Amino acid sequence: MPFSVTWHTLLDECKGLAEDATLLTPLSQDRFQITDVQEHRIVVEFLDRDVDETRPLQRDQFETLYERISDAPDGFDLSRLPLDADPYPGVLSLHPRFEVDESAGVIRETDEPAGSQIIRGADDTESAEEATERAEPDVDVYSDALLLIDALERNDLSSLEALDTPALINLYTLLSDIQRDANDLRQNVTNVLLDRLHHDQPVHGQFGSVQRTARRNRDLRDDEEVLATLEDAGIDRERVLSVDRDKVDDALDVTELSESDVYDIEETEYVRKAEVDEEQRETRLQGLKDRLATSDDPEATELREEIEELESRIEELTQFKTGREYHAQSRAE
Domain ranges of the chain: 3-127, 140-213+272-318
What are the tens digits of pLDDT across the range 210-241?
888 887 778 888 888 888 888 888 888 888 88
Average pLDDT, the chain: 78
DSSP state of 240: T
Task: Indicate whether 1 pLDDT > 90.
Answer: no
Q: What is the 3-state secondary structure (H, E, C) of 8-58?
A: HHHHHHHHCCCCCCEEECCCCCCEEEEEEECCCEEEEEECCCCCCCEEEEE
Alpha helices in 136-222 (DSSP H): 140-154, 165-194
pTM of the model: 0.47
What are the tens digits of pLDDT across the range 167-182?
999 899 999 999 999 9
Task: Indicate whether 92 pLDDT > 90.
Answer: yes
List phi, psi (to 5°) of 275: -160, 165
Question: What is the per-residue pLDDT for 31?
Answer: 87
**CA separation for the pair 264, 267 (Å, rounded):** 10
| Chain centroid to CA 113 | 29
**DSSP bridge partners of 46:** 32
**DSSP bridge partners of 101:** 106
**DSSP bridge partners of 77:** 106
Q: Place 116 in a pLDDT band, splitting at 50, 70 and 90.
A: low
Q: Which helix (H) or strand (E) holds 32?
A: strand 31-37
**CA separation for the pair 99, 107 (Å, rounded):** 6
**CA separation for the pair 119, 90 (Å, rounded):** 11
What are the tens digits of pLDDT across the range 184-194?
998 888 888 88
